[in-house]
Structure 1
């Protein structure tokens, strides 16, 4: 696979106190340019989030450089491959948060919420309850347009338009989730990790994050208990439970997700318009933060 797809695409994040992010920015930019990498790196006081692509040797050199910083020595990376360089430039950005919650800074290194592994979650969903006999409820922490591409069966979807809405929404529904085990999930772990910690902080007594998110679940369990595909914030748009690119696309004009069925509409013109572009359609989301 790698021989015919020479570019290595990596995605990684880690929540860790990173007070020298501003000072480190020039170093990150210099090493990436030296290695001819392209993509985006977010540096924040609460950690790092990155999406990069380059040749195998250069990617490995970058990861060796990054992991030499003991704060990132255990950084876990998701890899995929492509025939072409999917990014057009190299950006290293400073932000206030890895994923914007607009809430007092959460520091997962002071204590993560419990994580449930994919195989364990599948077993819980098979039997309908966790190892303590509590009913299991799946809670999607992603934006509504992502959920529409696919999600777990019978999941709770509060139709949030951006992650900063999550704290208020989850506080309002606390009573109805009492006596249940709540498993938060997202694409790759960032949002559900932050969400689960926040839920613990406001008094939820049985909450887990799905370790590695939907993509890790697909890798280990396929599509069991899942309907549809998984939206991803890159050129592939959506992956099926076999982690293969699907025919789902994003509209070039309005950035809405356009399913294969919607592509049959006369209003869909590749690179120009789609059914969502019409005045009566709901405005497409603009938040494409790459928040896995």
Structure 2
């Protein structure tokens, strides 16, 4: 990796009461721009959520700025690295929720499940009385999940409450353990379940990424790879870059097996979008792929 051009990518969130969140938008945006930082930060009354990229000095400056607000003094972030800038511009957006469940009244600042560290996670999910649920979306679950975990088959986090309504019962499911990529979705989902009357709810602190970082592959109950929302596409144990790529047409993560499918055509389609590929769309996609190759200097 070319260290001179390496960008630090910092992902972070915190559920914390920020009634003045709108007032923070412009000063935070101006500060990030002054540091040469790009990415997206979401602000809401329930907290902050963001992924930003830039130089080591710029990232440090932004977190020093954020921590000057005592409510964000203990804000933690996960670092990864990119060889090229992963974002085109800097955005600070005001939202009703920092992760969209579609129920703003669900407030992790009021109640949240029991945090479980990666070191404690294996024992918890090996308990036959515990119902383990992956709170991520279908395309994420498909490439990897924890052994024995239930897949809600959701296309977005907004669908999670409907899944709970039809598949879970607080009188039957006495212990529920939730997990997601970095911790934010399962933390909010735990608050939702508690509000629905579930009494014993756990969630993986730091998410799958923290688990893969800390737990050796020889002791791991994770199967497959973990989708990430950056240029790495997916990671495996020790956060090594995985084997998946993104379909140029639909953006779905695809494996070598997917690329061996007769429905895969580089730049045009994959097994997950082939059925929606009309002839008109194929022509448009061929032109997009041609333009992309020209920009990459491949033609």
Q: Could you tell me which runs of 5 or more consecutive residues in structure 2 were left unpaired when the two chains were aligned.
A: 278-299
Equivalent residue for 1:273, pick from 269, 272, 277: 269
Match of 1:175? 169
Q: Retained in 2: the 8 A contact 1:13–1:50?
A: yes
Q: Could you tell me which runs of 5 or more consecutive residues in structure 1 were left unpaired when the two chains were aligned.
A: 282-292
Match of 2:101? 101
Report how many residues are paired: 275
Q: Are residues 1:153 and 2:147 paired?
A: yes
Q: Deviations over 1:256-284 (max 9, x none)?
A: 22112212345444444323332268xxx
Match of 2:137? 143
Match of 1:163? 157
Over the residues paired in the alignment, what is the CA RMSD in angstroms? 2.1
| In structure 2, C-alpha distance between the alignment counterparts of 1:154 and 1:179, rounded to whole Å | 15
Q: Retained in 2: the 8 A contact 1:7–1:85?
A: yes
Match of 1:288? none
| In structure 1, C-alpha distance between the alignment counterparts of 2:163 and 2:27, rounded to whole Å | 39
| In structure 2, C-alpha distance between the alignment counterparts of 1:55 and 1:269, rounded to whole Å | 37
Q: Retained in 2: the 8 A contact 1:17–1:107?
A: no
Q: 1:176 to 1:48 in 2, by over 3 A?
A: closer
| In structure 2, C-alpha distance between the alignment counterparts of 1:4 and 1:163, rounded to whole Å | 38
Q: Retained in 2: the 8 A contact 1:174–1:204?
A: no
| In structure 2, C-alpha distance between the alignment counterparts of 1:89 and 1:104, rounded to whole Å | 28
Per the TM alignment, residue 199 of structure 1 is displaced from its structure 2 partner at its CA by 0.6
Q: Deviations over 1:229-272 (max 9, x none)?
A: 00111221111122112221122221222112212345444444
- Tell which deviates more after alignment, 189-198 or 97-106: 97-106
With normalisation by structure 1, the TM-score equals 0.87
Per the TM alignment, residue 216 of structure 1 is displaced from its structure 2 partner at its CA by 0.7
- Tell which deviates more after alignment, 163-172 or 153-162: 163-172
Match of 1:50? 50
Q: Are residues 1:196 and 2:172 paired?
A: no
| In structure 2, C-alpha distance between the alignment counterparts of 1:69 and 1:211, rounded to whole Å | 23
Q: Are residues 1:63 and 2:63 paired?
A: yes
Match of 1:290? none
Q: 1:5 to 1:111 in 2, by over 3 A?
A: farther
**What SS does the corresponding residue of 2:237 show, helix, strand or coil?**
coil
| In structure 2, C-alpha distance between the alignment counterparts of 1:27 and 1:18, rounded to whole Å | 15
Q: Retained in 1: the 8 A contact 2:106–2:191?
A: yes
| In structure 2, C-alpha distance between the alignment counterparts of 1:143 and 1:108, rounded to whole Å | 21
Per the TM alignment, residue 4 of structure 1 is displaced from its structure 2 partner at its CA by 6.4
Q: Are residues 1:221 and 2:215 paired?
A: yes
